[in-house]
Structures are given as C-alpha cells and as structure tokens.
C-alpha cells in the first residue's frame, strides 16, 4: 500500500515525466533505427525479411494498428517514372535500363526480382513467373509484348541456360537486393527526382497506375501477390485520380 502511495508522490511523478521527456527527445528514434539496422545487417536480412521481422516485433510488443489511420501511399508520378526510365536507359552501358524497366513493369518485390532466372521468362506467353514469391508461393505476371521482345534481345541466342540469372552482374552472378536498391537510388538521383526512390516505390507506382487505368482491384491484388485484398485497397483509397473518378461516377448516376 505504501509503495502504491509512493508512486503518486509529486517527486516520483516528476521523475517519471522527466524520464518520458528524455525518451522522447530528438534523435531517439534515429538511434533505435541505427541499432536495429546493425542487427539486421548482422543477420543479412533481405527487404522482405526485414518487414517480416518488424511485424513479429510489433506482435511481440502487442502494438495494435490504429483502426482509422489514414495511409498515404507515396509513389512516382507518370512524368517522374518516365524521367527514371529515361535515365536508366542513359545508363544502359551498365545494363540498368531494361533491368529497372522490368522491375517497374512487373511490380516485383526486390527479393523476387533478384531471384529471377532465364527460365522464368516466357517470350511466347509474354510473362514472367516468380518462383520465389512471398510465402514460398509462385505467381505468373503478364508483361507487355514489347518488353518481352526487349528481354529476348537482351538474352540473345545461347545465353547460357535457363538456370542463369535473368539479369546477371558482370561476374555472371545474380544481383543482391541491396545492390538493386543502390542502382534504383543512384538512377533516381541522376534523373533529378527529389523523392526518396527505392524498389518498393516502383511497386506502389505500378499498382496505382494499373488501378487508375481501370484494372479491377482483385486483378491488381493477384498481380502484386497480395494475400489480402485489403492490402491492395490502400492504393485505391490513396489515389486522387480514383477518388475523383468515383466522385464523378456517383454524381452521374447509373448510365
């Protein structure tokens, strides 16, 4: 009882307040982020593994997502995307043009993308199969015929067999996710894009472009390999173009 009363004393309350203030002082989150980054680097986590670990940590701490939190999905505008691709092709001597274009047009997670092999590409079917998709699942995504032709030209005759990386490094090995992240970042900076650009932003970008172009939500969800439709719904809810179109449809009425 005495201990309980002691916690209510002004001196103890002030000490707790001071501790809270210290915990929330500027730079605290950055220090936590740096400590976390060191741990993740030590275990060589990929992008998707880092997301999964963060999810486990939230559940371990019993941190609940706010019920009505408004999420804004950052993505590249169409002109910014064109800038990025144009710059990537200017850097084609490094082989980055087609690589970045394929990353964008397939909406791939970076870990899925780096696992692609020659055998995963189909010219006749104009498609790419991701055999190392999230959750050890497999999915096939369509690509434009012109992209398929470009990939076929990139591979050329007698490329070396289906088990070689679709986009090999100079040492004929597959790129690491970290290297792909660096390539995207460097290309965006060279293109003069002020946003922080990273592979998953490409995924956000193609998702919203597909939705704004009229592709059904369920189809976009399957294309991205989302397990829950609600995950894809976030893109629709955060797109000004889709909101505007919904507004116009609602006021026009049937027909």
Active site residue 16: no
Is residue 195 part of the annotated active site? The answer reads no
What's phi and psi for 140, nearest 5 deg? -110, 130
Contact 145, 122 (CB under 8 A): no
Query: Is-catalytic flag, 134?
Result: yes
* Dist CA 77 CA 86 (whole Å): 14
CA distance 120 to 84: 25
Q: Is 101 a catalytic residue?
A: no
Choosing from 75, 101, 109, 204, the catalytic residue is 109
- The tokens of 247 are what? 């507004």
Residue ranges in 116-198 assigned as alpha helix (H)? 145-155, 177-190
31 in helix, strand or coil? Answer: helix
Burial of residue 26 (number of CB atoms within 10 Å: 0-12, 13-18, 19+): exposed
Q: Is 71 noted as a catalytic residue in this protein?
A: no
170 is catalytic: no
How many whole angstroms separate alpha carbon 97 and alpha carbon 139? 24
Which one from 91, 178, 185, 200 is the annotated catalytic residue? Answer: 200
Active-site position among 134, 139, 154, 185: 134
Which residues are part of the catalytic machinery?
Answer: 109, 134, 200, 203, 226, 235
């Amino acid at each position: 009882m005495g201990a309980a009363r002691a916690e209510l004393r002004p001196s103890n309350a002030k000490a707790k307040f001071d501790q809270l203030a210290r915990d929330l002082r500027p730079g605290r989150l950055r220090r936590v982020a740096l400590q976390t980054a060191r741990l993740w680097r030590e275990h060589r986590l990929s992008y998707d593994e880092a997301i999964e670990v963060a999810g486990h940590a939230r559940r371990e701490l019993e941190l609940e997502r706010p019920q009505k939190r408004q999420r804004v999905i950052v993505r590249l505008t169409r002109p910014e995307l064109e800038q990025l691709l144009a710059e990537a092709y200017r850097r084609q001597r490094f082989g980055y043009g087609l690589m970045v274009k394929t990353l964008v047009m397939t909406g791939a997670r970076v870990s899925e993308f780096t696992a692609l092999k020659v055998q995963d590409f189909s010219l006749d079917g104009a498609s790419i199969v991701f055999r190392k998709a999230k959750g050890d699942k497999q999915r096939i995504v369509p690509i434009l015929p012109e992209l398929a032709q470009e990939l076929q030209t990139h591979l050329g005759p007698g490329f070396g067999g289906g088990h070689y990386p679709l986009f090999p490094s100079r040492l004929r090995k597959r790129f690491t996710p970290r290297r792909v992240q660096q390539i995207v970042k460097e290309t965006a900076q060279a293109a003069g894009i002020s946003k922080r650009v990273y592979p998953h932003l490409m995924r956000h970008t193609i998702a919203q472009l597909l939705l704004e172009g009229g592709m059904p939500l369920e189809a976009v969800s399957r294309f991205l390999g989302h397990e829950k439709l609600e995950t894809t719904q976030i893109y629709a809810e955060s797109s000004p173009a889709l909101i505007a179109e919904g507004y116009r449809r609602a006021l026009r009425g049937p027909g």
